[in-house]
Amino acid sequence: MEAEIFGDTGLKSLWEEICIIVDEGEGDEYESCLDTLDEFIREALDQIKLLDWQKSSLWLMTSEGIDWTFGSERMVENYCTWCQADVVRMIRDDYLVPTAMNWTNSRIRRYSEIRYEMG
């Protein structure tokens, strides 16, 4: 996907723009970036047509799923339910955001330097 948040910047993809925004880590752009990541993750999860057991397996990896596994709720309900929002948040916060924070290339470095110099 082409870069589209900042306009003509020399960045080649939306991913590169996300890396810049996540690295700065604050403001309206950051919140909008997280919303965009959430949307992409939801769409990807919908496209891969997960089976119920796969959905449950993913959810059990979330902090909410772990709490359910070891908590008193498990005594009441002997099965877990899929909560897509929990899975989206886990994929975003545990995988995509840390990857974006550590991702760089010459275009990202150049753009970061220009933004820093402009203050």
Going residue by residue through the chain (119 aa), what tens digit of pLDDT does each one get? 555 655 667 788 889 989 988 988 878 889 988 999 999 999 999 999 899 889 989 999 999 988 888 876 555 556 667 899 999 999 999 999 999 999 999 999 998 888 778 76
Domain containing 48: what range? 14-118
From the list 84, 80, 111, 95, the residue with the least C-alpha distance to 13 is 111
What domain count does the chain have? 1
Burial class (CB in 10 A: 0-12, 13-18, 19+), 72: exposed
Distance CA 37, CA 76 (A): 34
Q: 74 in a domain, yes or no? A: yes
User: What is this structure's pTM?
Assistant: 0.81
Q: 89 in a domain, yes or no? A: yes
Q: 4 in a domain, yes or no? A: no
The pLDDT score that the predictor gives to residue 38 is 95
